[in-house]
Structure formats: structure tokens, C-alpha cells
């Protein structure tokens, strides 16, 4: 089935006004790293094995070319090649959401058009790092123009103000976007305010999909915010444990969920010693058996000495007995 009907259900309200309700994601989506050769070219070869590994460990799909994937450091052609490779490699039922955000909105729209053409499940965009967006209307207009490039796909706004300075109130954003962008699906919420997250989830009786975006706080968002789906970065190598938090919560085992959340925070504490998920986390992939190559400039790559220390710190928390497996 083609078109928006693949993703939505139309209902008639009491006033006979047709209402469109989009499918909400249940479970965790991974934000994968972009594989590079040593010379800095993108490397598509690991992607089929990468996709199979993620699905094996309980992930429901990928959100490619975002922050973990160094998306803003890729050319439009590279981003399209990666999208095509992930869609080709995706196992049955595995969702591929393509981040299409760019400092050039026309480029973003072309990437959105391409994502729809090749059969992506959905698209998303964060606010650009330049120019800085400081008003709700600016953000809505930006999203509106991009989403129009793929009208048959769900569009998610990726709220990560630490990356772009767009510290805007998301409830006000939902109010402004409501009814204006027909294929607006929801928000990937990567911010620290559990209160705002919950207010966004409650807006319009829960009409929008609020994807949890911080692996550090999955459990409190399940408890307070009623989270059903999320997009993570440490899910690349620790997805089995993060999925386990949700599974434990769903079966009513709060203590097991707490233990898994605490352990997942230990993993995050380690990568914080090695320049975070994009740098340290990507090197962990090599340590678990999937070498994705270096990071692009200006990221400072892990040195051999740092890799030895990274492995030692992971060994100290028993990581290799708990991490994702092939």
C-alpha cells in the first residue's frame, strides 16, 4: 500500500470531521553510527550485518543520519547513499527513519523527497545549528517546508537543544504545528525536562508520538511520562539492556528495571570519559565486533592508548557479558 494510508488511520469524529491518527512507535529505535573507511569515505559494507545485529538485540528500527551518524558532516549524496543502503538492508518490519535536517532548507526538502521515493518509513529533522532558531514560528516554518517534501511519510521534529541552541517550549510548538503540517507525527525529545516531556505527551489527549530520546532516563519516562517508544544512541552497543528496562517495566518488575537502568547509566559514565557516544561509543562498536571506522573531522578520534583504557573501564563493569551480541 502506498501513500499516507500506510501509516495512518482515518476516523470520523462526532462532528463528522475526518481525523487522521498516525501510528505510534512502540519500542526502541536505534540512532546508528555512520561507517567510514580510514580515508574518511563512507563505508556501506557493514550495514547489513549492523541491521541484523540491532534487530537481534530487540531494536525496532533506525533513525539514520542524525547526531550519532554525524549527519551534518555528510554530503547530501552520502546521506542519500546511506539511506538507500539501510532501506535495502532492513529486515522485515524494521523501520528506517531518515534524518533530513540541514542548514539549507532546500537541501532538507530534497533529502525528504528522496527518502519518500526510496521507501523510508518516516523522516525527521532537528533545528539547524545555523542560523539559530529562536522563535516558535521560525521552527514551524522550517519543519513545514521540509515535511512537505515527503507528504506520505510521518515527520518527527528532533528536539535536541544542546546541539543547536533551540531552547524553545515544546508544548507551544505542538500548539503551533497542530493542524498545520498534515504529516506531523511527533517529537524525538532529547532534553532533561521530564515535566515538559509529560506535558507534550498529554497534549491533545496524547495525539502526538513522543519518542523518548535520552537513554539515561528511560525508566522515569516510562513511569511518569507514559513513554511507549524512543530513539537511543547507546542502543548501538547496549540496546539489549535498554530494551530490557522496558520489558521489565511491562511485566511489572520494577526492581529489575531499576537495576538495568542503573547499569545502563554505568555504561554512559564510561563513554563520558571518552568524548561521549559519537566518539567513545563508536569505538565500542569495534570492541564488540563491528569496526565502523573513525569519526570525521573535527571530532578527535580515540587513540590506541585511549582504546585500551576504554576496554579496561568496560571490563570493570562487566560490559562484555551484557552488551549487544551478533
Residues paired with 210 in a beta bridge: 187
Catalytic residue among 158, 189, 237, 263: 158
Long-range contacts of 17-23 (CB under 8 A, 24+ apart): 20/182, 21/207, 22/154, 22/183, 22/185, 22/186, 22/209, 23/154
Catalytic residue among 95, 142, 156, 188: 188
CA distance 299 to 280: 11
DSSP for 116-161? Answer: HHHT-SEEEEEPPSSSPP-SHHHHHHHHHHHHTT-TTS-EEEEE-H
Phi, psi of 152 (to 5 degrees): -90, 0
Catalytic residue check, 197: no
DSSP for 4-23? Answer: GGGTEEEEE-TT--EEEEEP
Catalytic residue check, 311: no
Kindly state the cell numbers that stand for 101.
535536517
CA distance 188 to 47: 23
Active site residues: 158, 188
Amino acid at each position: 500500500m502506498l501513500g499516507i494510508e500506510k501509516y495512518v488511520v482515518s476516523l470520523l469524529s462526532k462532528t463528522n470531521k475526518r481525523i487522521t491518527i498516525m501510528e505510534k512507535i512502540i519500542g526502541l529505535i536505534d540512532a546508528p553510527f555512520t561507517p567510514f573507511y580510514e580515508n574518511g569515505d563512507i563505508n556501506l559494507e557493514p550495514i547489513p550485518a549492523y541491521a541484523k545485529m540491532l534487530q537481534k538485540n530487540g531494536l525496532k528500527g533506525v533513525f539514520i543520519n542524525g547526531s550519532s551518524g554525524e549527519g551534518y558532516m555528510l554530503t547530501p549524496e552520502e546521506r542519500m547513499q546511506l539511506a538507500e543502503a539501510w532501506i535495502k538492508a532492513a529486515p522485515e518490519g524494521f523501520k528506517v527513519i531518515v534524518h533530513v535536517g540541514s542548514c539549507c532548507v532546500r537541501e532538507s526538502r530534497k533529502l525528504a523527497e528522496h527518502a519518500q521515493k526510496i521507501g523510508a518509513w518516516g523522516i525527521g529533522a532537528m533545528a539547524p545549528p545555523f542560523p539559530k532558531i529562536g522563535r516558535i514560528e521560525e521552527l514551524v516554518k522550517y519543519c513545514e517546508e521540509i515535511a512537505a517534501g515527503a507528504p506520505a511519510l510521518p515527520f518527527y521534529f528532533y528536539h535536541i537543544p544542546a546541539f543547536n541552541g533551540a531552547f524553545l517550549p515544546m508544548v507551544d510548538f505542538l500548539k503551533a504545528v497542530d493542524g498545520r503540517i498534515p504529516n506531523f507525527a511527533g517529537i524525538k525529545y532529547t532534553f532533561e525536562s521530564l515535566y515538559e516531556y509529560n506535558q507534550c505527551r498529554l497534549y491533545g489527549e496524547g495525539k502526538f508520538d513522543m519518542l523518548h530520546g535520552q537513554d539515561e532516563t528511560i525508566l522515569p519516562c516510562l513511569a511518569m511520562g507514559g513513554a511507549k517508544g524512543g530513539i537511543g544512541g547507546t542502543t548501538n552497543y547496549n540496546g539489549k539492556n535498554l530494551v530490557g528496562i522496558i520489558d521489565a517495566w511491562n511485566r511489572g518488575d520494577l526492581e529489575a528495571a531499576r537495576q538495568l537502568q542503573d547499569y545502563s547509566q554505568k555504561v554512559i559514565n564510561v563513554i563520558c570519559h571518552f568524548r561521549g557516544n559519537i566518539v567513545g561509543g563508536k569505538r565500542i562498536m569495534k570492541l564488540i565486533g563491528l569496526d565502523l571506522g573513525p569519526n570525521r573531522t573535527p571530532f578527535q578520534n580515540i587513540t590506541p592508548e585511549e582504546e585500551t583504557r576504554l576496554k579496561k573501564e568496560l571490563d570493570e563493569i562487566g560490559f562484555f557479558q551484557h552488551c549487544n551480541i551478533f
